[in-house]
Amino acid sequence: MERDYKRVVRAVRRPTACRQEFADLNRYLRDMLGYGATPPDAAWPGGAAIAVQFVVNYEEGGENCVLHGDVASEAFLSEITNAQPWPGMRHWNMESIYEYGARAGFWRLHRLFSDTGIPVTVYGVATALQRSPVQVAAMQEAGWEIASHGLKWIDYRDYSREAELADIHEAVAIHEQVTGEKPRGWYTGRCSVNTVDLVTETGLFDYVSDSYADDLPYWRRHAGRDQLVIPYTLDVNDMRFAIQAGFSDGDAFYTYLKDTFDVLYAEGQAGQPKMMNIGLHCRLVGRPGRFAALQRFVDYVLGHDDVWVARRIDI
């Protein structure tokens, strides 16, 4: 032990020797550079300065609930402050909050995007889509892309690789049964350290979005495959209405949306086009007091030239 300690000390004092003796330490598994100081020209259609992408997360009916065979009720992203899971019990208030998203919030968003002609990508939880055939039909009639948001809207942190992979395949099967086609995009959300690798290994998806690492899509190589990653967002996201230090009202949400757009738009006009994601949830921004801010932002975006509003699959 003492001899090993002295060898480490000598290596630390001699950086070159350290690199030679502990080469494995240089095999850092994260990319901290990305595109660096000179990001590529994304070459958006029509020479657009920015690509704007609206995501509607459809999770209602796929959340934790004992009716779904889960051990406890849902506790995440709701109107209930400091909500806790209720083991073995139904949580009536939590269930009704999610039901609002499907019954009212979804249709408010559907009207807005249909009336303005804005294309949308849906992150659809397979079991939620399965329980909402009328909403799925409306998505398809509007020409929305329906990507997969997993089998259930749960946390996969502690799942084994085998169990998570099984859920991925079941999600794809249900998605195809409900929509008539397999999903081309994937986003788990509450993913594990294995999620992106597993999705890549299936070879089923044009893109995966379990990343927040860039303002542009990028390629990630794994298991001999080049997987396109289209990063998502947790900051330009109405989920911040439901967490501490988030948005307290619609004005704060609108200001953040507008500021994000303005910065990225200016960068695009200067020759470095970027992508802006907006994450939405039917039960959150679908509430009238928050929805007004989204309406204002949509009008703001549509008032600009050189903007490409697209689905993720189009990007």
CATH number for the domain spanning 158: value is 3.20.20.370
Residues 7 and 152 in one domain: no
Q: In the prediction, which pLDDT does 14 show?
A: 42
Between 92 and 212, residue with greater pLDDT: 212
Owner of token pair 């999620």 = 195
pLDDT number for residue 17: 42
Please give the backbone phi and psi of residue 237, each rounded to the nearest 5 degrees, phi first. -155, 130
Specify the range with the lowest mean pLDDT, choosing from 78-92, 141-155, 199-213: 78-92
In a domain, residue 36? The reply is no
pLDDT at 4: 45
Do 66 and 11 fall within a single domain?
no
Pair 4, 108 in one domain: no
Q: Tell whether 11 and 119 lie within a shared domain.
A: no
Please indicate, yes or no, if residue 38 is contained in any of the structural domains: no
CA distances from 51 to 216, 255, 264 (A): 10, 19, 9
Residue 74 pLDDT exceeds 80? no
Specify the range with the lowest mean pLDDT, choosing from 2-6, 71-75, 223-227.
2-6
Q: Assess whether 139 and 257 both reside in one domain.
A: yes
Position 82 pLDDT exceeds 80? no
Measured from the Cβ of residue 207, the count of other Cβ atoms closer than 10 Å reads 19
Instruction: Determine the Cα–Cα distance for residues 194 and 1; give it in Å rounded to an integer.
Output: 35
| pLDDT given at position 126 | 97
Q: Are residues 285 and 168 in the same domain?
A: yes
Q: What is the pLDDT of residues 9-61, one digit of tens each?
A: 343 344 444 444 444 445 688 899 999 999 999 999 999 999 999 999 999 98
> Considering the chain, what is the average pLDDT of its residues?
88
Distance CA 232, CA 298 (A): 19
Residue 315 in any domain: the answer is no
Averaged pLDDT, 236-252: 80
Q: Are residues 13 and 128 in the same domain?
A: no
* β-sheet bridge partners, residue 114: none
181/305 same-domain check: yes
The percent of residues in the chain predicted with pLDDT above 70, rounded, is: 85
Structure tokens at 55: 């995501």
Q: Are residues 102 and 240 in the same domain?
A: yes
Token code pair at residue 95:
């269930």
Q: Which amino acid is at 298?
A: V
Domain that holds residue 281: 45-309
Q: Are 274 and 42 in contact (CB under 8 A)?
A: yes
Residue 9: per-residue pLDDT: 37
User: Which contiguous run of DSSP H or E holds residue 225?
Assistant: strand 225-229
User: pLDDT per residue over 108-155, tens digit each?
Assistant: 999 999 999 999 999 999 999 999 999 999 999 999 999 999 999 888
Q: Is 39 inside a domain boundary?
A: no
Q: Is residue 64 part of a domain?
A: yes
* 17 and 144 together in one domain: no
**Cα 161 from chain centre:** 21
- DSSP letter at 249 equals S
Average pLDDT score over residue span 200-206: 97
What pLDDT, on the 0 to 100 scale, is given for residue 11?
38
**Arithmetic mean of pLDDT, 200-210:** 97
CA-CA-CA-CA dihedral for 141, 297, 271, 209, to nearest 10: -50
Residue 194 pLDDT: 95
User: Which pLDDT belongs to residue 10?
Assistant: 41
My answer on whether 12 and 71 are in the same domain is no
Distance CA 237, CA 28 (A): 30
Q: Which two tokens stand for residue 51?
A: 């690509």
- Number of domains composing the chain: 2
Beta strand 50-58 with 120-124: parallel, antiparallel or unpaired? parallel
The predicted pLDDT at position 79 comes to 67
For residue 147, the model assigns a pLDDT of 98
Convert the pLDDT of each residue in 278-300 to its tens digit: 999 999 999 999 999 999 999 99
Does residue 40 lie in a domain region?
no
Lowest mean per-residue pLDDT among 75-89, 173-187, 245-259: 75-89
**Whether residue 180 is found in the same domain as residue 245:** yes
| Per-residue pLDDT tens over the stretch 156-173 | 999 999 999 999 999 999
